[in-house]
Amino acid sequence: MNDILTSGAGMNLPNALTLLRIFFVPLLVAALVQRNLTVHWNGDVWITNEYLALTIFLFAAATDLVDGYLARKWGQITTVGTLLDPIADKLLISAALIALVQVHKVPAWIVILIVGREFAVSGLRSIAAAEGYTIKASELGKTKMISQVLAVALMLLSIHWPELSQIATICIWGAMIFSLASAVDYFWKFWRKIDDHVKRRRRRELLMVERRRNRSAII
């Protein structure tokens, strides 16, 4: 009974952290595109909008690690959390990249590929779920997420530290490559699942036809 309640519970600390990550998305965009935002302390500039955006982004990305760890440790993996967690991740990364396009730090075509990949894989998982099976996150997919967080963080730092622009650009390219490679991996797994599903269904249909023939022959 406790297991049923845990799996069906909607709100707990891991889920609250996931919702908090979604809440941070508009704050991140606002902080990044607001060019003249500064926080002063004792007459000195204490933090600029880029550093504020970086702080929000890193804190939000950290909640992704914490909520998953707590959900597994406390046995609080819920349907709501399973659905919202990847959505929150995609919203965070997509919003950060689109905002970086707005401030002319990342080429738009790279962001289109990365964001398009996120939508495609989300649709793929939805179709798979409708068919009754789950495509789990692969190691390549996890590497993709880490590369995206690193690339966005370096891009935000490069706004005030131009010497980081080259390595930030390399990381953005790496994030794009990992994104596309993981998309191919997901599509391959999906195709194998569908192929196996179709083969099993055809096998069942052939068995049913054979049984009908045998019954007809006996009659």
- Residue with more model confidence, 122 or 153: 153
- Report the candidate in 111, 119, 117 with the shortest Cα–Cα distance to residue 172: 111
Q: Distance between CA atoms of 135 and 127, rounded to whole angstroms?
A: 10
Q: Identify the CATH homologous superfamily for domain 2-218.
A: CDP-alcohol phosphotransferase transmembrane (TM) domain (1.20.120.1760)
Q: Distance between CA atoms of 120 and 181, rounded to whole angstroms?
A: 13
- pLDDT score, position 44: 59
- Report the candidate in 41, 14, 21 with the shortest Cα–Cα distance to residue 149: 21
How many residues in the chain? 219
- Phi and psi torsions of 12, nearest 5°: -150, -175
Taking residue 20's Cβ as centre, other Cβ atoms within 10 Å add up to 14
Tens digits of residue pLDDT in 159-215: 888 999 999 999 999 999 999 998 898 888 887 777 676 667 777 777 787 777 777
DSSP bridge partners of 3: none
Question: pTM here?
Answer: 0.77
Taking residue 114's Cβ as centre, other Cβ atoms within 10 Å add up to 25
* 107 three-class SS: coil
Domain range summary for the chain, segments of one domain joined by + = 2-218
Tens digits of residue pLDDT in 28-53: 988 888 766 666 566 555 677 888 88
The secondary structure of residue 7, as a DSSP letter, is H
DSSP per-residue letters across 203-218: HHHHHHHHHHHHHHHH
- pLDDT score, position 38: 64
Tokens 């690339």: give the residue.
Answer: 151
